[in-house]
Amino acid sequence: MTKFMVIPTSKNLDRFLGADAFLFGMKDLCINFGTTYTLEEIKAYQKKYPTHDIFISVNKNMRNEDLEHLKEVLIEVETMGVKGIFYYDISVVELKKELNLKTDLVWHQEHLTTNYATCNYWYTFGAIYTCLSNEITISEIKDICKRIHGKVILPVFGYIPMFTSARHVVDNYITQMKLERKEGMHYIKKEGYTYPIVDEKHGTTVYSSFILNSLEELPTLKEEKMDYFLLNSFGIDSLVFEKVLELYKNITKENQRDMMKKFEALKLHTDSGFLYKETIYKVK
Amino acid sequence: MKKHELLAPAGDLERLKVAIHYGADAVYIGGPSFGLRANATNFTLDEIKEGVAYAHQYGKKVYVTVNIVMHNQELEALVDYLKALESLKVDAIIVSDPAIIQLAKQETNLEIHLSTQQSTLNKKAVEFFKKQGVTRVVLAREAYKEEIEEILRDVDIEIETFIHGAMCSSFSGRCVLSNYLTARDSNRGGCSQICRWDFDLYDENEKPMAGEKPFTFCTKDLSMLKHLPEMMNMGITSFKIEGRMRSIYYIATVVDTYRKVMDAYIKDPKNYTYQPQLELILRRVANRDSIPQFFNHKNDHECQYYNGRIELSNQDFLGVVLDYKDGMVTLEQRNYFKTGDMVEFFGPHHETFTFQITEIYDEDDQCIDVVRHPKQVVQFSCPYPLEYLDMMRKKTFQ
């Protein structure tokens, strides 16, 4: 049965306990996660919530200067018995081999996890899981599930990081225009759409204008060979998120109409992303 | 001194020939499939064959980009395509998806370069790809000088870095703005350059934060001209110029300028002095300011470009030389010019010179005053010998 994994964006996990698994962004080694956590905090959660699977993300583009700390973290994580480590940078794969680490990896190069052959390639290097891209269609997802050697994690709900930069583009603009700095999240708007934009220590992330929502597809997706559905709580009120998680967990083909009605009542700005829409890459 | 390679973009056969004529040691091109500039002219397999033959005739190399992020349906055609490229004797393929590395190793003897789309910034990642049979890594444009040095010191592999051209605002591979805003897939060659668009910025309470100019991600371009000798000393193998969709004038000017700096430094490194006037020449073909960016840890507001959607372009480029015989140049027009104009000719094998056009003849040998038709072929006398693919531009500064 497919489990539910949540990216929490609060240090208080009470609203996320309905999930089967947590994905924590690792402090200093992670980007576009909203909230990041220290190893000590994660260990404390592990102790407090022993039935939850724990995954950790180290998804930043690593520089040489990050490698020593990354190595220390990977060694420490090895002793914690976490289920898997999400990675973007290939140094993680190399270090796993060098240090003979047993913890499974999760290939999560965000927009690049788009075909089964590359999933299977990384599988041979210990990436037992792949977290699939949001830019592929539902039929491509199903096809990957059929042909993949490893396990699949599918993001099904949440704002989607669309742009990750080493630059601090909000701060740069504020500096250049001599504007007053404001705390918290910012937004950019274009042609009626609003996109959350976050400057953080390692750079800037821009998120989709809508919340990806695959609730309607979930009963079908549950029939596929899929290990986790991933829900991202970034930018969503935790009370609302708790309700969403419940709907996702409980939806079936039989109660689908009723559950969709309940979801609509939450009045979230959602979209199905690329589940039914192929991207174009050759403009005639 | 270690052998260095000046690597130029070529969107089509004409640009390939221009790049080689102006001193590129190698060119990178896109084939009919699987490249990241789906909307460039690109090469057919026959044109790749012709381009490779042309380049090899001059001892130059041709690399073909196979750097899209693959979807399931593309995998089936890939092996045949790789085999075709091998049969055409291309010198390497540039790949970002590791599944292609594996297939290419299994099915062909193609040399493999890792694309900048993997955004490689550290030595462990470089080590990994070396072990997989990659012979060259194109580093991320975000790499600092010290990082490049450390990679070169610790991993025995060819390193390629960008030295000139447009920059992505994001890490390569980590931007899908184009997908979400225009449904064009940036990782499969359809990037619609959303990072050059203007947006309105708002604070947490959605109150506008408007400056004198609109918010944008847009970055200035990259130019490493001043740092080229330093980079050569570091041991970087290949210096890459961005821009497969750029004009022949752009390619000629940029390749020619970097070639001159490379050659001058190789010839006499001790007495080499930087010539800032070369920056003026590069500026003539640019439509944005250019700076060194991340190499020197520069990553602030001065690296960005707040100029609305206005990007400078000019009509500097007047024509390309098709032939020169008996003191008469045959030239194909690219921008309006007329008798009496002061013009400059530049080319790889002579000093740039200036002269005034006195009489112009069209293809029917009729004397004309102005050359106003695109690609119109004309003749006029010129006291200095010229050669095929030399170029004529406006004389605008000393």
pLDDT at residue B43, as a whole number: 92
Nearest to B122 among A63, A118, A168 (CB): A63
A165 and B102 in contact by Cβ < 8 A? no
Nearest to B171 among A61, A143, A176 (CB): A61
Domains and CATH numbers, chain B: 5-170+219-303 (3.20.20.70), 317-394 (2.40.30.10)
CB burial class (10 A; 0-12, 13-18, 19+) of residue A71? middle
Nearest to B122 among A67, A162, A189 (CB): A67
Query: What gap in Å lies between CA B398 and CA B391, rounded to an integer?
Result: 18
Which of B206, B215, B289 best tests the A interface by mutation, with the highest count of A CBs <10 A? B215
Q: Over the stretch A165-183, which tens digit does the pLDDT of each residue have?
A: 999 999 999 999 999 998 8
Cα-Cα-Cα-Cα dihedral sign, residues B99, B103, B104, B106: positive
Q: Write b or e for each residue in B229-250: b if 16 or more Cβ atoms lie within 10 A of its Cβ, otherwise e.
A: bebbebbbbbbbbbbbbbbbbb
Q: Where are the beta strands (DSSP E) in chain A?
A: 3-7, 21-26, 36-37, 53-58, 84-87, 105-107, 129-131, 151-165, 186-190, 193-200, 203-213, 228-232, 270-271
Residue B323 pairs with which residues in a beta bridge? B330
Q: Which two tokens stand for residue A263?
A: 């979801």
As for the ipTM of the complex, it is 0.95
CA distance A176 to chain B (A): 6
Least confident among A167-176, B18-27, B260-269, B299-308: B299-308
Strands of the B367-368 sheet, one edge to the other: B350-356, B342-347, B391-394, B317-325, B328-333, B377-381, B360-361, B367-368
Residue pairs spanning A and B at CB distance below 8 A: 229
Angle (CA) A250 A256 A257, round 5°: 135
Contact list, A165 vs chain B (CB under 8 Å): 169-171, 174-175, 217
Ramachandran assignment for A257, one of left (phi > 0), alpha (psi -120 to 50 degrees), beta (any other): alpha
**How many other β-carbons are positioned within 10 Å of the β-carbon of residue B362?**
14
Q: Over the stretch B121-157, which tens digit does the pLDDT of each residue have?
A: 999 999 999 999 999 999 999 999 999 999 999 999 9
A135 and B219 in contact by Cβ < 8 A? no
pLDDT at residue A281, as a whole number: 65
Phi, psi of B330 (to 5 degrees): -105, 125
Which of A119, A281, A283 best tests the B interface by mutation, with the highest count of B CBs <10 A? A281
Q: Say if residue B295's pLDDT is above 80.
A: yes
Q: What is the pLDDT confidence band of residue B36, given thresholds at 50, 70 and 90? A: low
219-278 of B, contacting A, C-beta below 8 A:
219
39-98 of A, contacting B, C-beta below 8 A:
61-67, 89-91, 93-95, 98
B39 and A186 in contact by Cβ < 8 A? no
Domains and CATH numbers, chain A: 3-159+210-271 (3.20.20.70)
**How many other β-carbons are positioned within 10 Å of the β-carbon of residue B50?**
16
pTM of this structure: 0.94
pLDDT at residue A232, as a whole number: 97
**How many other β-carbons are positioned within 10 Å of the β-carbon of residue B79?**
15
A280 and B190 in contact by Cβ < 8 A? yes
Q: What is the dihedral of CA A129, A133, A138, A143, to 10 degrees?
A: -50
B124 and A91 in contact by Cβ < 8 A? yes
B98 and A283 in contact by Cβ < 8 A? no
